């Protein structure tokens, strides 16, 4: 369980760092994070980043998919002025992860 929570945190922070770098380079996201961007983030992660880390092969792929969904929801809330800008997750503080059972999140 702790490995899955760490995996989720790692993926969330990876996605956030990618968005921060893109923003610094001048790319400004639209009002919503959008399905296209979440899908692209998952695609880049799956094809380029995940193969570099062998420990990720032993963990559920649903964990990182939900981490990116949660990151997208955080940005959506921020751009609708319903919350603050998302911050990096820290180990030991509200550790959590989401998996699903036949399409229903657990």
Q: What are the residue ranges spanned by the domains of the chain?
A: 2-105
Give the pLDDT of residue 55: 86
Three-state SS for 104?
Answer: strand
CA-to-CA dists, residue 30 to 36, 68, 72, 76, 105, angstroms: 11, 17, 12, 10, 27
Counting as low any pLDDT under 50, the low residues of the chain are 31-33, 36
Place of tokens 């036949």: 102
Angle at 102 between CA 99 and CA 103, to 5 degrees: 65
Q: What is the pTM of this model?
A: 0.76
Three-state SS for 92?
Answer: coil
Three-state SS for 66?
Answer: helix
Residue 63 makes CB contacts below 8 A (sequence gap 6+) with 4, 7, 8, 11, 97, 98, 99
Q: pLDDT by residue (tens digit) across 28-41? A: 655 444 554 677 77
């Amino acid at each position: 369980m702790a490995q899955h929570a760490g995996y989720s945190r790692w993926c969330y922070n990876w996605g956030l760092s990618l968005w921060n770098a893109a923003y610094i380079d001048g790319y400004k996201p639209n009002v919503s994070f959008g399905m296209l961007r979440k899908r692209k983030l998952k695609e880049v992660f799956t094809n380029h980043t995940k193969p570099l880390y062998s420990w990720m092969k032993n963990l559920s792929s649903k964990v990182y998919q939900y981490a990116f969904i949660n990151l997208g929801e955080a940005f959506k809330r921020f751009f609708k002025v319903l919350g603050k800008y998302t911050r990096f997750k820290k180990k030991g503080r509200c550790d959590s992860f989401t998996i699903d059972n036949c399409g229903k999140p657990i």
